[in-house]
Homo-oligomer: A and B are copies of this chain.
Amino acid sequence: MAISGVMRPGHAQIRVLNLEEDVKFYRDVLGLKEMGRDKSGRVYLKAWDERDHHSVVLHQADRAGIDLFGFKVRDRATMDLLESNLHSFGVKTERVPAGEMLETGERVRFEIPTGHLIELYAEKKDVGNGLPYRSPAPWSPDADRGIAPTRLDHALLGGIDLDGARNVFIEALGFYLVESVVAEDGQTQIAVWLSCSNKTHDIALLRLPENGKLHHVSFWLDTWERVLRAGDIMSMNNVPVDIGPTRHGITRGATIYAFDRSGNRFETFSGGYIAYPDMQPLVWPIEHLPEGLDYPQRKLHETFLTVFS
Q: Which A residues contact B (CB, under 8 angstroms)?
A: 1-8, 49, 51, 72, 74, 126, 133-139, 144, 150-151, 173-176, 195-199, 220, 222-225, 228, 231-232, 234-236, 238, 241, 244-247, 249, 252, 254, 256, 271, 273-274, 276-285, 288, 291-292, 295-299
**Contact of A173 with B2 at beta-carbon distance under 8 Å, contacts A135-B288, A254-B228, A284-B134 already known:** yes
A277 neighbours in B (Cβ, 8 Å)? 1, 3, 7, 74
CA distance A299 to B144 in the complex (A): 26
**CB of A181 to closest CB in B, whole Å:** 10
A247 neighbours in B (Cβ, 8 Å)? 138, 228, 231-232
**Contact of A283 with B1 at beta-carbon distance under 8 Å, contacts A151-B274, A246-B245, A295-B232 already known:** no
Count of identical protomers in the assembly: 4
**CB of A129 to closest CB in B, whole Å:** 9
**CB of A252 to closest CB in B, whole Å:** 4
CA distance A145 to B273 in the complex (A): 19
A278 neighbours in B (Cβ, 8 Å)? 7, 72, 74
Chain B residue with minimal CB distance to A226?
B225
Q: Is the CB of A273 within 8 A of B150?
A: yes
A225 neighbours in B (Cβ, 8 Å)? 223-225
A284 neighbours in B (Cβ, 8 Å)? 134-135
Chain B residue with minimal CB distance to A71?
B2
Query: CB < 8 Å: which of B197, B199, B295 contacts A138?
Result: B295
Query: CB < 8 Å: which of B5, B138, B151, B228 contacts A2?
Result: B5
Chain B residue with minimal CB distance to A173?
B2
A2 neighbours in B (Cβ, 8 Å)? 3-7, 173-176, 195-197
